[in-house]
Amino acid sequence: AHQFRPPGPPAMTSGTYARALLEVETLGRQIGGARTDEQTLIARFWEDGMQTSTPSGHWNAIALQEIAGLPLAKQLDILLVLNIAMADAGMAAWDAKYHYRFWRPVTAIQEASVDGNPQTSSDSRWWPYIQSPMFPEYVSGHSAFSSAAATVLSHFLGSHPITIGTESMVGGIKRSFASFDAAAEEAGRSRIYGGIHFQFSNWDGLELGRRVADWTISRLSPIALASAN
């Protein structure tokens, strides 16, 4: 699982960390802050939390929509590679989470007085818009699952505009994107709007998912297997 381990979060005394903390503090606040109505909708659209099929299920729903007109054998090929890539991305992401054991924004903001960064300050009243999951922050699992899925779907189906629905508790919402990658980028960004991830965890999670998917495609793609035989 450590094969694709990312470099780790920035030092808490760095400017990169301070900027990321201040961003999520502003955009991810439960009440108030600078989050727009559109950003709030994005946070809910991609929430994929309890009582849903979770991020990997959301991406399977997207895939089933996009492959509906293909021969059954081709659909099975795509779903095979898609789900192995997401499973491996999940293992790699959780390896990183428990290797680095980085704190969530809710703890980082409430206890900023101990991070050693002069650009940050504690706010004991700050809470995230979305409830923080009960496992370490770095990297974003949403970002890893989403970029792995987008990479696989782009490989098989190409880059084209898509319109997708939600697997979250928010019903009746559809969003349109220029490509699978654009959808994955919004999914990752949604976690900052929800107040539960830092931007650097989103970036590194997206990169991790892409790397895992490329590796999976190169070894498990039916096209590659057919040419090898």
Question: How much is the pLDDT for 100?
Answer: 98
Task: Please name the residues in contact with 82: beta carbons below 8 A apart, sequence gap of 6 or more.
Answer: 59, 60, 63, 149, 152, 153
> Taking the C-alpha atoms of 46, 139, 211 and 94 in order, what is their torsion angle to the nearest 10 degrees?
-100
> pTM of this prediction?
0.94
How buried is 127 (Cβ within 10 angstroms: 0-12 exposed, 13-18 middle, 19+ buried)?
middle
Q: Is the pLDDT of residue 228 over 50?
A: no
Cα separation, 69 vs 76, whole angstroms: 12
Name the band, by pLDDT with cuts 50, 70 and 90, for residue 170: low
C-alpha 36: how far from chain center: 20
- Give pLDDT tens digits for 37-83: 999 999 999 998 877 889 999 999 999 999 999 999 999 999 999 99
